[in-house]
């Protein structure tokens, strides 16, 4: 049975998008999947609704026609849909293990057969993707700090903008390690164990992702934050894949 957890708001918006997709792709539309926070066990109605669509023989003409609806989708509260060609779908899991892992973990079907049945993310693929992500995060922090020229307000903006990607990274690493961590505090504590860093350091950064920025002095926190990410990169680099 579909839509066991999907919020009514998300269902209505996804149905609207599915109608637009059907008008363009007709019988080539194989599946419409809603994923993200709107279909968690404790679903919310905040933020944009994310949809994956699988289309047979996806071509430029399809994209050209769908692009005309993009502004309307955005105004309604829909994220730009993730549209995948049916023939490419199965071969994409090793290339995008993080992205498909997120969808696999929390998704609900709106139309078609569930394309994730019987599929899983290879731990080795996920570990390599996490390594790329953590190294990119580290390079971004170093480069971004130089661009701040030491200005506290600019450093605060840098740390705040990095909080969301850090939350995503730590969530993926926790899943890879088989850890049940659903809050910033739990993720910060686990990462603190991995890096020998007080859990409060990363938890304070993650607080910025939750928009609790007034409680965090990001400029003062930055050196410890950078050191924690350096050690996290080293930890992931030497992580022995047990799969």
- Pair 83, 158 in one domain: no
Give the confidence band of 9 by pLDDT, cuts at 50, 70, 90. Answer: confident
- 191 or 39: whose pLDDT is higher? 191
- Structural domain range at position 149: 123-237
Domain end: 112, 145, 172, which one? 112
Residue 2 lies in a domain: no
Number of structural domains found in the chain: 2
Residue 199 lies in a domain: yes
- Pair 132, 232 in one domain: yes
pLDDT at 54: 95
Residue 242 lies in a domain: no
Taking only the tens place, the pLDDT of each residue in 80-133 is 999 999 999 988 888 888 888 878 877 889 999 889 888 888 888 888 888 899
Domain end: 112, 139, 165, which one? 112
Q: Give mean pLDDT, residues 177-185.
A: 79
Domain end: 112, 137, 161, which one? 112
5/27 Cα distance (integer angstroms): 27
- Pair 50, 91 in one domain: yes
- Pair 85, 141 in one domain: no
Burial of residue 108 (number of CB atoms within 10 Å: 0-12, 13-18, 19+): buried
Q: Is the pLDDT of residue 243 over 50?
A: no
Q: Is the pLDDT of residue 241 over 60?
A: no
- Pair 182, 205 in one domain: yes
pTM: 0.67
- Pair 132, 191 in one domain: yes
Short-list 199, 194, 187, CA closest to 231 = 194
- Pair 106, 130 in one domain: no
Query: What CATH number is attached to the domain comprising 98?
Result: 3.30.460
Kindly report the number of other CB atoms within 10 A of residue 38's CB atom. 25
- 62 or 173: whose pLDDT is higher? 62
Q: Is the pLDDT of residue 72 over 80?
A: yes
- Pair 58, 138 in one domain: no
- Pair 79, 163 in one domain: no
- Pair 105, 135 in one domain: no
Short-list 213, 141, 199, CA closest to 170 = 199
Residue 117 lies in a domain: no
What's the chain's average pLDDT?
86
58/182 Cα distance (integer angstroms): 36
Q: Give mean pLDDT, residues 63-67.
A: 95
pLDDT at 3: 42
């Amino acid at each position: 049975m579909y839509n066991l957890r999907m919020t009514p708001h998300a269902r209505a918006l996804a149905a609207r998008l599915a109608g637009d997709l059907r008008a363009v792709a007709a019988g080539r539309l194989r599946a419409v999947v809603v994923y993200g926070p709107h279909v968690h066990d404790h679903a919310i109605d905040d933020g944009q609704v994310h949809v994956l669509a699988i289309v047979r023989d996806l071509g430029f003409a399809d994209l050209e026609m769908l692009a005309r609806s993009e502004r309307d989708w955005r105004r309604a509260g829909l994220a730009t849909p993730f549209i995948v060609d049916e023939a490419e779908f199965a071969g994409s899991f090793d290339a995008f293990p993080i992205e498909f892992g997120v969808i696999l973990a929390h998704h609900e079907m709106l139309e078609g057969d569930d394309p994730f049945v019987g599929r899983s993310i290879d731990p080795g693929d996920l570990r390599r993707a996490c390594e790329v992500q953590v190294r990119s995060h580290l390079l971004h922090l170093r480069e971004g700090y130089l661009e701040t020229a030491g200005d506290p307000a600019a450093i605060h903006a840098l740390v705040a903008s990095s909080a969301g990607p850090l939350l995503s990274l730590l969530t993926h690493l926790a899943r890879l390690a088989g850890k049940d961590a659903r809050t910033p505090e739990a993720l910060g504590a686990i990462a603190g164990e991995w890096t020998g860093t007080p859990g409060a350091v990363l938890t304070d950064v993650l607080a910025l992702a939750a928009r609790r920025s007034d409680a965090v002095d990001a400029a003062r926190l930055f050196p410890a934050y950078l050191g924690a990410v350096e050690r996290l990169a080293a930890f992931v680099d030497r992580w022995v894949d047990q799969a």
